[in-house]
Structure 1
């Protein structure tokens, strides 16, 4: 069976410019993300700095523009001072978030050296769980002040003569969650975040600050948390955060494939709450959103922090991603682009090994998971401005989200060249879809790739690293201002159009 859908690409239907920060990632001291992930002294590919160059090559290929660090739950019990100075003098500490023995051999200065090698922007999280305003100021001074003060001179004595260029700072992490070290009520957190923001803006008014929003949309305080926090912080911060993970473990594949419906609802709900607070405060500022944790996560397979034994760099939530997971990730990227007028930052969590697009073996290879591919191609080809795209398509009934369109899509337009790129997902597991694309005059297709498989549970591994890869699409027909292509069941597709020469 084949269904039919139709959409129009028109450069006049502009949403917002493509923000490079939408293609961020996340490195937390959790499991093997850092140790034997991005950092493994003694690995055959590692140089004197201990960075795995095979992973660095994949990070560049992935197209990551920004990386959030060092957490995550880890940051709420973290003393940044333990991760600076001569490595041999750093203490071994306990991370209460993930019950990990942390040797602190990788810390702030190593991370900043790694971001330079990876050519990504750093996004730094502050501990507002077990620490406060003074410790935050000390860290920002250590990291960013040029010279001549206690903390800047300490940095220079550690070999980092020039200040680090860190412009984006998170005011804590998920402090609405009772699992968090230093869990707070919205009012408690809002007051602390406001006082920290005032101090940091006094230090450097050009810093960009992210207030903690809800850790997920199902927590009972969702919405009220954002409202109360923003009543304290609205004119002091630049973003409020959103976090969401989507779990396929319950077997409801139709709802899982429609996960983007929840992400879009969450974005619009938080944006509406922010706008309400702005109205009550008589503020003309329009707050942006930082979706700084998102991904597919088989969360129900994880027994929780209490199930963990104390260990050093354990294998932790190293989920194996298949074709269906990749299609969902592609649909979530489409959603972030569709809402580029409000979402200014986004970070897929995490970068290596821990629910990650990149997997490694200690002393061994690194490879791309299935979810690597839609991220890499979207980051590479989403250029210029996002266009408003509203497909006319059949609907699918889902248990979690009701009726959703079978086709989910967005597109970008490069005003400099006239080129357009279409990104589309077919959520239907049982039927292909013939998609009619109405184009402006003068365009022709130049690339058509799709990620699909007769076995939607197919996945990559160290033994079969290329089992799931994007392949050239077939059957695209183009005449005048109409292109027609077939979207396979459970598929992600990209088509690039260029101006005829």
Structure 2
């Protein structure tokens, strides 16, 4: 198979917001307890946080982390997580039918975020609560002092405000499963009034309003139109969520799902443009795709188990074990975000540790990288700069979800400061290797080419505590350079990062 790709220095999409490589931690399963927080662990720091996990998160270089949910936030009292840990109440979490000890709250999470070199992206409860609790939370977190809530924060040991800039106005409020679910009109009104109150405190904060939980919701895309019509002048982003599944074990169809993701983004982008035109506004609302990942390996079993248990604390839940096939999927998802970086500014892999996550831990034991850690890390580290509008000529196939799905999924990023071009390429053909001919126009002389490959002969191959490097990136030789062109051959079903030094 042959693919021809042209990258031109002047043909660009957008500057990529680094927050495209964001993450997410929810009080769900073992994401927090025995995930990031385990005071008795051999690597625990003075705050009870696992240093081995912090090291892996720092290696991911994820700029933001969304917290504390997720479905959890829609019945969460943020005040339960402040003050002496010994005095904090245990609450029943209705979202996941578990007990929440509140041993980790905003103070603990803030210290963890600082250690992990990530910024906080906080969500307020607009399910069971509303405007008043939200404004109090913002004051507690961001006001220097001299008011009730800020002085209480100081009393609780944090003298300086955290100055969190990015706030989510609830979570998945279109979903009937959500505690406090509302209609689009009800939610739009509440979100707008909450946003106005927050802006009265600080009009420079960035606010995210809830969009559709997925594109198959019966209210999609009217939900976006109604909510944005109510909130457009007060918010900066609308959130979207999507999870990817392969219950049928059909790799061709599975790897075509990002075409559906692309349509989802395109539709919401059109709704944003419509509301902007309707309001005669000069403001540009963008998309925060703040939940995405593969999620199906343990989903059906977990849904059954949840109905049977009796409010356990931090149980094993949603701990999908990812395989090599999921590497290809995650690569295609991130490539879609890069191609849509003109409208998608923020994206958060859901989640970060143990719960549908790139990082796994054993209580009291090791932490290791799941297979999907690697494509996310490569993109996060090297996918910063300007997204290029590539011209791609390759063979295609027809899938149930879309026609003419290209066998080569490829994006290019130009980092002018570093003097590099980085291409992320997935060969979606299961049998044929592919030769990729890259023509680089107006970029200057090519100094060197580095090829990093993720490949395994078994699509079901996984990483484990005993074999954590079973699926991992490997440096390759074999790229040829001629003039302003690079030629490289990639195996069937493979993920490649091609990095060109200019």
TM-score by length of 1: 0.97
Moved more, 259-268 or 72-81: 259-268
- Distance in 1, matches of 2:223 and 2:305, equals 24
- For 2:319 and 2:416, how far apart are their aligned partners in 1? 41
Q: Distance in 1 between matches of 2:139 and 2:248?
A: 47
Q: Which moved more, 1:407-416 or 1:137-146?
A: 407-416
Q: Report whether the alignment pairs 1:487 with 2:485.
A: no
1:165 pairs with 2:132 = no
Query: In 1, Cα distance between the equivalents of 2:455 and 2:477?
Result: 12
Shift, 1:207, TM fit = 0.6
| Whole-angstrom distance in 2 between the partners of 1:308 and 1:282 | 53
Match for residue 288 of structure 1 among 279, 282, 286: 286
Q: Secondary structure of the equivalent of 1:439? A: strand
Q: Is the 8 A contact 1:438 1:483 kept in 2?
A: yes
Structure 1 counterpart of 2:133, from 135, 145, 149: 135
Quote the residue 1:452 is aligned against. Answer: 455
Partners of 2:290 and 2:418 in 1: how far apart? 31
Gap runs ≥5 in structure 2:
none
Cα 1:277/1:304, change in 2 over 3 Å: farther
Q: Are 1:271 and 2:274 an aligned pair?
A: no
Q: Residues 477 and 381 of structure 1: is their aligned pair in 2 closer, same or farther, counting only changes over 3 Å?
A: same
SS in 2 for 1:347: strand
Q: CA separation in 2, counterparts of 1:305 and 1:17? A: 44
Alpha-carbon distance between aligned partners in 1 of 2:200 and 2:20, rounded to the nearest angstrom: 28
Against the structure 1 CA distance between its residues 369 and 476, is the aligned structure 2 distance closer, same or farther, given a 3 Å change threshold? same
Q: Counterpart in 1 of 2:411?
A: 410
What is the Cα deviation at residue 422 of structure 1?
Answer: 0.8
Counterparts of 1:333-344 in structure 2 under 5 Å?
A: 333-344=334-345
Cα deviation for residue 427 of structure 1 reads: 1.1
- Structure 2: distance between partners of 1:164 and 1:416: 30
Aligned residues: 497
Query: Residue 227 of structure 1 aligns to a residue in which SS?
Result: helix
Separation (CA, whole Å) in 1 of partners of 2:216 and 2:305 = 20
| Equivalent of residue 35 in structure 2, options 34, 37, 43 | 37
8 Å CA contact retained: 1:90, 1:103: yes
Task: Name the counterpart of 2:303.
Answer: 303
Per-residue deviation at 1:414? 1.8
In the TM superposition, what is the alpha-carbon distance from 1:259 to its structure 2 partner? 2.0
Contact 2:259 2:401 in 1 (8 A): no
1:358: Cα distance to partner?
Answer: 0.2
Pairwise CA distance, 1:37? 0.3
Distance 1:456 1:126 in 2: 40
Deviation at 1:320, TM superposition (A): 0.7
The residue number in structure 1 matching 2:250 is: 252
Q: Distance in 2 between matches of 1:36 and 1:112?
A: 17
Change (3 A) 1:40 1:417: closer
Matched residue, 1:349: 350
**SS of equivalent to 1:39:** coil
Corresponding residue for 1:65? 63
Q: CA deviation at 1:331?
A: 1.0
The CA distance in 2 between the partners of 1:235 and 1:314, in whole Å, is 42
Q: RMSD value over aligned CA atoms?
A: 1.2
Checking the alignment, whether the CA contact within 8 Å between 2:449 and 2:479 is kept in structure 1 is: no
Runs of 4+ in structure 1 over 4 Å off: none
TM-score, scaled to structure 2: 0.97
Question: CA contact under 8 A between 2:90 and 2:99: conserved in structure 1?
Answer: yes
Q: 2:46 aligns with which of 45, 48, 55?
A: 48
Give the distance between the partners of 1:486 and 1:300, measured in 2 at CA.
39
